[in-house]
Amino acid sequence: MARIVQKFGGTSVADLDRIRNVAEKVKKEVAAGNEVAVVVSAMAGATNQLVSFARDIGPLHDAREYDTIVATGEQVTVGLLAIALQNMGIDARSWLGWQIPFRTDEVHGSARIEAIETEQLDKRLKSGQVAVVAGFQGIGPDGRITTLGRGGSDTSAVALAAALQADRCDIYTDVDGVYTTDPRLCPAARKLDQITFEEMLEMASAGAKVLQTRSVAMAMRHNVKLQVLSSFNETPGTMVVDEEMTMEQQKISGIAYSRDEAKVTLSGLPDKPGIAAAIFGQLADAHINVDMIVQSAAADGQSTDITFSLGEADLDKAVGLLEAARGDLGFAEISSNGKVAKVSIIGTAMRTQAGIAKTMFAILAEKGINLQVISTSEIKISVLIEADYTELAVRSLHEAFGLESA
Amino acid sequence: MARIVQKFGGTSVADLDRIRNVAEKVKKEVAAGNEVAVVVSAMAGATNQLVSFARDIGPLHDAREYDTIVATGEQVTVGLLAIALQNMGIDARSWLGWQIPFRTDEVHGSARIEAIETEQLDKRLKSGQVAVVAGFQGIGPDGRITTLGRGGSDTSAVALAAALQADRCDIYTDVDGVYTTDPRLCPAARKLDQITFEEMLEMASAGAKVLQTRSVAMAMRHNVKLQVLSSFNETPGTMVVDEEMTMEQQKISGIAYSRDEAKVTLSGLPDKPGIAAAIFGQLADAHINVDMIVQSAAADGQSTDITFSLGEADLDKAVGLLEAARGDLGFAEISSNGKVAKVSIIGTAMRTQAGIAKTMFAILAEKGINLQVISTSEIKISVLIEADYTELAVRSLHEAFGLESA
Contacts with B83 from chain A: Cβ below 8 Å:
54, 57-58, 60-62, 65-66
How far apart are the C-alpha atoms of B149 and B151, rounded to whole Å? 6
What amino acid occupies position A393? A
pTM: 0.82
B window 318-337, beta carbon within 8 A of A: none
Residues of B in contact with A64 (CB under 8 A): 93-94
DSSP A180: S
User: What domains, with CATH codes, occur in chain A?
Assistant: 3-174 (3.40.1160.10), 255-400 (3.30.2130.10)
From the list A64, A69, A144, the residue facing B80 with the nearest CB is A69
**CB-based contact (8 Å) between B60 and chain A?**
yes
**Tens digit of pLDDT for each residue in B131-183?**
999 999 999 999 999 999 766 899 999 999 999 999 999 999 888 899 999 88
ipTM computed for the complex? 0.79
Q: DSSP string of B280-333? A: HHHHHHTTPPEEEEEEEE-TTSSEEEEEEEEEGGGHHHHHHHHHHTHHHH--SE
User: Residue A247 in contact with residue A215, Cβ under 8 Å?
Assistant: no
Q: How many CA atoms lie within 13 A of A248 on its CB side?
A: 20
The nearest CA of chain B is from the CA of A132 a distance in Å of 11
A21 to chain B, any CB pair closer than 8 A? The answer is: no
Residues across chain A? 406
Interchain CB contact of B22 with A (< 8 Å): no
Q: Which of residues 376-395 of B touch A (CB under 8 A)?
A: none
CB count, 10 Å around CB of B55? Answer: 12
B195 strand-pairing partners: B240
Min Cα–Cα distance to chain A from B75, Å? 6
As a whole number of angstroms, the distance between CA A345 and CA A325 comes to 36
- Chain A touched by B79 (CB under 8 Å): yes
Cβ-Cβ contacts under 8 Å between A and B: the total is 112
B75 to A80: CB separation less than 8 angstroms, yes or no = no
Pairing of the two strands B290-297 and B303-311: antiparallel
Over its length of 406 residues, how does chain A's per-residue pLDDT go in tens digits?
899 999 999 999 999 999 999 999 999 999 999 999 999 999 999 988 999 999 999 887 789 999 999 999 999 999 999 999 999 999 999 999 999 999 999 999 989 999 999 999 999 999 999 999 999 999 999 999 999 976 689 999 999 999 999 999 999 988 889 999 988 899 999 999 999 998 998 888 787 778 888 899 899 999 999 999 999 888 899 999 887 666 556 678 899 999 999 999 999 988 887 888 889 988 988 888 888 888 887 667 778 889 999 999 999 999 999 999 998 899 999 999 999 999 999 988 888 777 888 889 999 999 999 998 888 888 889 999 999 999 999 999 999 998 986 5
Are A80 and B54 in contact (CB < 8 Å)?
yes
CA B72 to chain A, closest CA, distance in angstroms equals 5
The predicted structure's pLDDT at residue A406: 56
Tell me the pLDDT of chain B (406 aa) as tens digits. 899 999 999 999 999 999 999 999 999 999 999 999 999 999 999 989 999 999 999 887 789 999 999 999 999 999 999 999 999 999 999 999 999 999 999 999 989 999 999 999 999 999 999 999 999 999 999 999 999 976 689 999 999 999 999 999 999 988 889 999 988 889 899 999 999 998 998 888 787 778 888 899 899 999 999 999 999 888 899 999 887 666 556 678 899 999 999 999 999 988 887 888 889 988 988 888 888 888 887 667 778 889 999 999 999 999 999 999 998 899 999 999 999 999 999 988 888 777 888 889 999 999 999 998 888 888 889 999 999 999 999 999 999 998 986 5
Binary contact (A75, B71; C-beta < 8 A): yes
Q: Looking at residue B344, what is its pLDDT? A: 94
pLDDT at site B158 = 96
